[in-house]
Amino acid sequence: MTFDALPKAVQLNFQLRPVRVTTLNDKSDFSVRYDFFERLNTGGVKLHAQEIRNCVFRGEFRDLLKELSTDKNFLSVVKLSDNEQRSAIYEECVLRFFSFLEEYETFDHSVVEFLNNYMIKKNRNIPRLELIASFRNTMAWLAEELPGGIARGNRSITPLNLFEAVSVGTALALKEDKRLNKGRLKKIMDSEELRKLTTGATNSKKLVSGRILYVYDNLRK
């Protein structure tokens, strides 16, 4: 219908109500875009942080995350619920791998901000080929070493902080020695020390570095 075809009462409602418009263009800061999108993300089905990133941070890096999230070895290692699979958590796991592998030492306290900043940087300069190769090689090694995936006990879902520790710690170890001893990683995952580093409020600088380096150090013994 055209405006003139609407009932007069409906026309009046349009005329009396303000409509606020905010324009974001190609010069708008990425962090501003994300914050604005997140503020609007309050009605209906709330989007996960990575779903917002996929909308806001478009570019080659976003496309790379989507591509690598379909890697067969990666999918055999990372176990997600149906809801998580629909919420772009696979892509976020790939993002976490790259960001923590390159910059875990600079992590402060906010995972969302840390991942956002990394994605902004890599949209301008995607990861080097050796980092992409590290992802594929690490997932291939983990798929062989952990046929049940990154999970503990009877649980079939992969905790994100355990994924960070295992994947990044393994990648760092493989960088030092491509012939790591097999059969150690499952015991490392089930250790009491790693449980402490991945349980409760674990997103502190000390615990993030601690769990990654715990896996790294113990794989190289």
The pLDDT confidence band at residue 7, using thresholds 50, 70 and 90, is: very high
- The CA radius of gyration of the chain, in Å to the nearest whole number, is 21
**166 falls within a domain:** yes
**8 falls within a domain:** no
Closest alpha carbon to 114 in 24, 31, 33, 27: 31
**11 falls within a domain:** no
DSSP classification of residue 109: S
Domain residues for 156?
30-219
High-pLDDT (> 70) share of the chain, %: 96
Integer Cα distance of 130 and 169 in angstroms: 17
Closest alpha carbon to 61 in 101, 119, 12: 119
Integer Cα distance of 117 and 168 in angstroms: 19
Closest alpha carbon to 189 in 156, 219, 157: 219
Please, is 218 exposed, middle or buried when counting C-beta atoms within 10 Å of its C-beta (0-12, 13-18, 19+)? middle
**25 falls within a domain:** no
The pLDDT confidence band at residue 18, using thresholds 50, 70 and 90, is: confident
> What pLDDT is stored for residue 44 in this prediction?
63
> What pLDDT is stored for residue 58 in this prediction?
83
Residue 42 has pLDDT above 70, yes or no: no
**pLDDT higher for 49 or 90?**
90
Instruction: Domain count for the chain, please give it.
Output: 1
> What pLDDT is stored for residue 175 in this prediction?
93
